[in-house]
Structure 1
Amino acid sequence: MNQLAATEVAAKPDRLVLGMMSGTSMDGLDLALVRVSAGPKPRLATLAHRTVPQPDSLALVPRQVLALDTAGLARLHTALGRFYAEAASAFCGGLGLSPDLVGLHGQTVYHEHGVTTLQLGDPHFLAEALHCPVVSDFRSADVALGGSGAPLVPFIDQLLLAEPGHTVVALNLGGIANVTILAGDGSVTGFDTGPANSLLDATVRAATQGRLTHDADGAWAARGRIDQGLLAELLAHPFFAMPPPRSTGPEEFGAAMAERLLHRSGLAEADLLATLTELTAQTIAQAIARHAPGAVKIVASGGGVRNAHLMARLDQALGDASLVTSAAAGIDPDAKEAIAFALLASLRIDRIPANLPAVTGASRPVLLGRICEM
């Protein structure tokens, strides 16, 4: 058995790293196999990526997770670990490649800004299956130093997307939308802007009693009309007025809000989805206008880029700024976060702090992630 220790991985000038990311929607696992050079400014080459659907038993909505007791959470932690190991083994085995290291984000089941964050998925199953170290639990160290543990991708955005002399905004359209503002002078800020897919997906699930999980291409929303009164009410939510650093989750913008709006608004489902899509577009555009007024380019990634209606409304809301996807920078939008956690794992092995206190609110830079070896 070829077992690699973290010290052996650290000694390699180049390493093969598997990044794994499961978002708040809990509907799929993103995997990306990346060749990474060691050091504080690593170079990378993405060799392959894939999204694996999560089994129905693990594709839980946040409300179902919050209803679990201690035994249920413990079983979910183990079941996710087994699923991650099986998916990673099949992915790497199909490529005929063995990673030197794994960066596992895990499944966020609860996040409360500045208070706590919890990701599940036992890394020991991965370490045993792939015979290499696994870095996981990336957010807790930042929380321990007074930070929110999110967002963490801005450090990677700075490495991959910064353009000296120009302000570039990296936009992630996951369950929650977040931005990294890469100023032309080299400074970096980042924060959650509000909902992206979480609120839309929850509305679709509630409206169809779970028969559908999302609005494919935004086609349902595109048939609706924006209710300006409800939009104004939603834009007045106190989260949108909070200064950075800030973070949020589906606990705030998810199933509970979706069901309340479906029952209270009196709108047709298409009109509600159109209004919520506009909420995402407007809150992103307003955040960028307020905190990155000189931005010349918005580089979008995440599952939301596949929502054609959302991207069209966002392009309209952004005005003169150029909206592109991360594919323009050679990074597949569906794989970007998995790639980011592969890089974060590599930085952890090299003992390089990878949080940005200006983004998370932590008191100082810190090493992110715990190393699991078998």
Structure 2
Amino acid sequence: MAQASSDMQVTDASTRRVLLAGPRSFCAGVERAIEIVERALESRPAPVYVRKQIVHNAVVVDELSDRGVIFVEELDEVPDGATVVFSAHGVSPAVREEADRRGLDVIDATCPLVTRVHMKARRFAARGDTVVLIGHAGHEEVEGTLGEAPDSIVLIQDHDDVAAFTPENPGQISYLTQTTLAVDETAEYIEALRERFPQMREPASEDICYATTNRQQALRALLAEVELVLVVGSTNSSNSVRLVELAQREGVEAKLIDSAADVRPEWLTGVRAVGLTAGASAPHRLVEEVVAALRAHGPVVVEERELTREDTHFELPSSVRGPKAATGEQDSATRQDRDGGAA
């Protein structure tokens, strides 16, 4: 599905085109995680703690902090018995066990699609596989997945790791991936592994989530028309960084920005067409603010480029469901957007 619309006609050569990649901004998993924290604020005694950043976006974290949420790195910073929310990126079993020992009131905001990867990791390890996890060391999602079967999972980050991988039983290997990777690069690693280990077993469904895939495909579709790409997202947002890298691999200048305040006038010199998108953890309004900032540097025509329409919804945990749950929230299995490519 492709769609293009503009808010004005190009009148002269001084008008800059702004092409909005769609889908962009929040995905279902991010929306769910933020709503979980908001409901916890309404239903639990203050303060509410969140382990790590609820989603990887500085603006979201700052706004929730202003509302009284306390973000911590580890559970030892949370008082016994207090409410703590696990972030959308998931946690290892060891973290859950610690929370149980401490008597913490846990609300789990792990994205259901990350939970699905954890379930596969346990299942593959239980059948005796060496599980290759393609991902980035240090990312919370990867740490949580590794923790599901630490003696059976091997992390692969690049082609060097693929070449160095020497499993004890080459005939019993399976693989999983972080949900927010670059689709093309991940496919290269999988193919390289398959060449070395033809019997490697793959998951029944891909692990890179629909939102990551859709945003990369939407951006790719407009790269031939632009000279500069602006990606709204924070530096620790894996899917946002992958969007920047995608544009750069195609030879297009790309900048990662947290907000409109980061736009630099010198980036726009000689640029007649700008591609604009946002990672899955960046609020929609930030894109609108960037468009307004671009208008401050001259007339623009805005074109919406919607490649795929997303209609995914994840159910909230029962511990925070309220009246809203009875008025139309849908199950975690509602998936009508796979024509492009979960977060």
Rg (Cα) greater in structure: 2
Same fold (TM over 0.5): no
Higher RCO (CA-CA < 8 Å; seq separation 6+): 2
TM-score, L = length of structure 1: 0.30
Structure with a larger share of its residues in strand: 1
